[in-house]
Structure 1
Amino acid sequence: MRLLFIPLLVSFTFLAAHATSAETSQTTQTEQSRNPGPVPYRVQKPPLDTPWTYTVGTNPWPQHPRPQLRRDDAWQNLNGIWTYQPAASASASAAPATPPATPPAGELEREVLVPSCIESGLSGIQARNVTRMWFARKFSVPASWEGRSVVVHFDAVDYEATVFVNGGEVGSHVGGYDRFTVDVTRSVEFGGENDLLVFVHDPTDMPPYVNPVGKQKSTPSHIWYTPCSGIWQTVWMESVPSNHITRLDISGDMNGTVTMTAHGSTNQSTPVEVSVLGPNGGVLATASSLSDGPFSFAVPSPILWSPSSPALYSVRVKMGDDEVSSYTGFRSISMGVVEGVKRPMLNGEFVFLLGTLDQGYWPDGIYTPPSHEAMRYDLQVLKELGFNMLRKHIKVEPDLFYEACDRMGIMVVQDMPSLPDDTERRPPDAMQQDEFQRQLEAMVDNHKSHPSIVAWVLFNEGWGQLRHPPWFEARLTPVVRALDPTRLINAVSGWFDHGFGDFSDNHHYPTPQCGTPFATPPSSAYDARRIGFQGEFGGIGLNVSIEHLWNVPEAIATINQTYELAADRAAYNARSRELFGMLRSQVEQYACSGGVWTQTSDVEGEVNGLLTYDRRLLRPEVAQWKEDTRSVYEAAAARGGWGGGDGLRGGVRHQQPLG
Structure 2
Amino acid sequence: MNKLRIVACLAALGLSSASAQEWKPAGDKIMTTWGENLDYKNPHPEYPRPQLERTGNWKNLNGLWKYAIVDQAASAAPSNWDGDILVPFAVESALSGVGKSLSKDQALWYKNEISLPSRWQKGKTLLHFGAVDWRCDVYVNGQHVGQHEGGFDPFSFDISAALKKGEKQEVVIRVWDPTSDGPQPRGKQINNPHGIWYTPVSGIWQTVWAESVPTTYIVDSKQTPDVDKSSLTVSANIAGAKSGDELLVEAFDGKQKIAEAKASADGTINLPLSNVSLWNPDSPKLYDLKLKVVRGGKVVDEAKSYFAMRKITMKADEQGIQRMYLNDEFVFHYGPLDQGWWPDGLHTPPSDEALKFDVVKTKEMGFNMIRKHIKVEPARWYRHCDSIGILVWQDMPSGDLGGNTWDMQPGKVSNGQHDKDRTPESEAIHKKEWKTIMDKLHNFPSIVIWVPFNEAWGQFKTKEITEWTMKYDPSRLVNSASGGNFAYVGHILDIHNYPDAAMPDPRLFGDKFILALGEFGGFGLPLDGHTWQEKDNWGYVSFKNKEELADRYQKAVTDLSKLIPRGLSAAVYTQTTDVEVETNGLMTYDRKVIKIPENTLKKMHSVLYKK
Compute the TM-score of the two structures, normalised by the length of structure 2: 0.90
Say whether residues 1:369 and 2:352 are aligned partners.
no
Would you say the 8 A contact 1:145–1:190 is kept in 2? no
The within-5 A match list for 1:129-528 is: 129-130=102-103, 131-206=106-181, 209-255=182-228, 256-266=230-240, 268=242, 270-279=245-254, 281-320=255-294, 321-339=300-318, 340-424=320-404, 427-466=421-460, 472-517=461-506, 526-528=509-511
Tell me the CA shift for residue 253 of structure 1: 3.2
Tell me the CA shift for residue 38 of structure 1: 12
User: Any idea what SS the aligned residue of 2:324 has?
Assistant: strand
Q: Which of 62, 71, 90 is equivalent to 1:79?
A: 62
User: C-alpha distance in 2, partners of 1:138/1:362?
Assistant: 29
What percent identity do the matched residue pairs reach?
37
User: C-alpha distance in 2, partners of 1:396/1:484?
Assistant: 18
Tell me the CA shift for residue 146 of structure 1: 2.4
Would you say the 8 A contact 1:516–1:592 is kept in 2? no
CA RMSD of aligned residues (A): 1.9
Tell me the CA shift for residue 268 of structure 1: 4.9
User: C-alpha distance in 2, partners of 1:51/1:36?
Assistant: 26
Give the AA of the match of 1:485.
P
Would you say the 8 A contact 2:522–2:575 is kept in 1? yes
Tell me the CA shift for residue 35 of structure 1: 4.7
Tell me the CA shift for residue 190 of structure 1: 4.5
User: C-alpha distance in 2, partners of 1:598/1:197?
Assistant: 41
Tell me the CA shift for residue 428 of structure 1: 2.1
User: C-alpha distance in 2, partners of 1:517/1:145?
Assistant: 61
Would you say the 8 A contact 1:331–1:451 is kept in 2? yes
User: C-alpha distance in 2, partners of 1:37/1:201?
Assistant: 30
Tell me the CA shift for residue 527 of structure 1: 4.8
Tell me the CA shift for residue 526 of structure 1: 4.1
Tell me the CA shift for residue 39 of structure 1: 6.7
CA displacement 1:544-597 (0-9 Å, x = unmatched): 11x10002x7xx42x24x211123211111111111111111112x11001000
Decide whether aligned partners of structure 1 residues 175 and 188 sit closer, same or farther in structure 2, where only a CA change above 3 A counts.
same
CA displacement 1:439-467 (0-9 Å, x = unmatched): 0000000001001000100000000113x
Give the AA of the match of 2:532.
W
CA displacement 1:150-177 (0-9 Å, x = unmatched): 0101110000000000011111100100
Say whether residues 1:108 and 2:81 are aligned partners.
yes
Say whether residues 1:532 and 2:498 are aligned partners.
no
User: C-alpha distance in 2, partners of 1:430/1:527?
Assistant: 36
Give the AA of the match of 1:220.
P
Give the AA of the match of 1:446.
K
Tell me the CA shift for residue 516 of structure 1: 3.3
User: C-alpha distance in 2, partners of 1:515/1:179?
Assistant: 37
2:95 aligned partner: 122
Say whether residues 1:55 and 2:37 are aligned partners.
yes
Q: Which of 571, 575, 582 is equivalent to 2:559?
A: 582
Tell me the CA shift for residue 528 of structure 1: 2.9
CA displacement 1:587-612 (0-9 Å, x = unmatched): 12x11001000000000010100001
Unaligned runs of 5+ in 1: 1-30, 91-99, 467-471, 519-524, 638-659
Say whether residues 1:607 and 2:583 are aligned partners.
yes
Decide whether aligned partners of structure 1 residues 502 and 430 sit closer, same or farther in structure 2, where only a CA change above 3 A counts.
same
CA displacement 1:278-305 (0-9 Å, x = unmatched): 11x1211000012344331211111111
User: C-alpha distance in 2, partners of 1:190/1:510?
Assistant: 63
User: Any idea what SS the aligned residue of 2:220 has?
Assistant: strand
Decide whether aligned partners of structure 1 residues 303 and 438 sit closer, same or farther in structure 2, where only a CA change above 3 A counts.
same
Tell me the CA shift for residue 538 of structure 1: 0.9
Would you say the 8 A contact 1:514–1:583 is kept in 2? no
Decide whether aligned partners of structure 1 residues 323 and 623 sit closer, same or farther in structure 2, where only a CA change above 3 A counts.
closer
Question: Structure 1 residues 125-134 or 174-183, which shifts more?
Answer: 125-134
User: Any idea what SS the aligned residue of 2:382 has?
Assistant: helix
Give the AA of the match of 1:408.
I
Give the AA of the match of 1:282.
Q
User: C-alpha distance in 2, partners of 1:323/1:621?
Assistant: 45
Give the AA of the match of 1:283.
K
Q: Which of 587, 596, 602 is equivalent to 1:626?
A: 602
User: C-alpha distance in 2, partners of 1:61/1:451?
Assistant: 24
User: C-alpha distance in 2, partners of 1:460/1:268?
Assistant: 45
CA displacement 1:341-390 (0-9 Å, x = unmatched): 21111111111111000000000000000001111111111111110000
Would you say the 8 A contact 1:514–1:526 is kept in 2? no
Would you say the 8 A contact 1:154–1:236 is kept in 2? yes
Q: Which of 524, 542, 550 is equivalent to 2:525?
A: 542
Would you say the 8 A contact 1:46–1:120 is kept in 2? no
Tell me the CA shift for residue 261 of structure 1: 1.1
Question: Structure 1 residues 117-126 or 143-152, which shifts more?
Answer: 143-152
Would you say the 8 A contact 2:321–2:506 is kept in 1? no
Number of equivalenced pairs: 572
Tell me the CA shift for residue 424 of structure 1: 2.6
2:417 aligned partner: none
Compute the TM-score of the two structures, normalised by the length of structure 1: 0.84
Question: Structure 1 residues 126-135 or 115-124, which shifts more?
Answer: 126-135
Would you say the 8 A contact 2:361–2:598 is kept in 1? no
User: Any idea what SS the aligned residue of 1:302 has?
Assistant: coil
Would you say the 8 A contact 2:68–2:78 is kept in 1? no
